[in-house]
């Protein structure tokens, strides 16, 4: 089985995400964690040949990557070495159509990678927006999510019952990247879910943290869907290898 690549700011930060994968039946030896400590060389190839790529939550993306200058008052925490590694993985995943699940910062990274932009700080740029960085228990359900595209695969999953999510972010998607489809929003209008069109590159992205919500069946199904796509990708690659 080709690995599921988990990209995070550190090994400790990767653990809840790797734990969610293991809870879905992914073997520990099939999980490859990438952090800023890893060399850049070979990451593009890793993204292309992996069974799946998972981008985790974490610090802010360098604003220059989406054509902006960092605003001092936005209180950014930057880790350009993480940005660089995620971009290499995404280059490979994009070229090979490797299944991709993107969570919180990961959603923002995918959006910027595809040419989109971000609000550097939602409270700074959108006066009146509700608090989205909730410093309580990781599984605290902070707000509802309104699904507007229930016909899309992730929209269908989330439409089974009204989603409630945790929330730990101060940035958000502003302008959508190329090809991405908006699926669901928070009550105050921030994009919470997006995906690529069905039948092409499998990309699901959520702004919250489903790795902390596995006791909720609806949230577990996000992980189930990703692991199912990883298996399909592995089966396709195995079939190609046998034919050649």
DSSP of 98-145, one letter per residue? --EEEETHHHHHHHHHTT--EES-HHHHSTTPPP-B--S-TT---EE-
Contact 110, 203 (CB under 8 A): yes
Contact residues for 15 (Cβ-Cβ < 8 A; gap 6+):
none
Which of 89, 133, 132, 80 lies closest to 110, judged by CA? 89
> DSSP state, 37?
T
Active-site residues: which are they?
A: 104, 209, 211
State the Cα–Cα distance between residues 48 and 169, nearest whole angstrom: 29
Give residue for tokens 């990438």.
34
């Amino acid at each position: 089985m080709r690995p599921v690549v988990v990209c995070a700011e550190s090994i400790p930060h990767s653990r809840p995400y790797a734990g969610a994968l293991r809870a879905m039946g992914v073997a520990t030896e099939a999980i490859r964690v990438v952090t800023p400590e890893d060399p850049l060389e070979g990451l593009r190839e890793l993204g292309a040949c992996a069974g799946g790529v998972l981008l985790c939550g974490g610090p802010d993306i360098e604003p220059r990557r989406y054509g902006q200058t960092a605003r001092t008052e936005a209180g950014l925490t930057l880790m350009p070495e993480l940005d660089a590694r995620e971009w290499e993985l995404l280059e490979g995943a994009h070229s090979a159509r490797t299944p991709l699940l993107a969570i919180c910062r990961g959603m923002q990274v995918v959006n910027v990678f595809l040419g989109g932009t971000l609000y550097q700080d939602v409270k700074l740029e959108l006066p009146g927006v509700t608090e989205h960085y909730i410093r309580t228990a990781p599984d605290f359900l902070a707000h509802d999510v309104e699904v507007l595209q229930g016909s899309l695969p992730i929209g269908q999953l989330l439409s089974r019952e009204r989603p409630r999510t945790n929330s730990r972010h101060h940035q958000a998607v502003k302008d959508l990247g190329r090809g991405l489809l908006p699926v669901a929003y928070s009550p105050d209008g921030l994009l919470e879910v997006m995906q690529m069109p069905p039948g092409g590159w499998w990309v699901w992205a959520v702004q919250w943290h489903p790795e902390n919500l596995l006791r909720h069946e609806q949230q577990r199904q996000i992980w189930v869907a990703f692991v199912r796509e990883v298996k399909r990708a592995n089966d396709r690659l195995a079939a190609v290898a046998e034919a050649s």
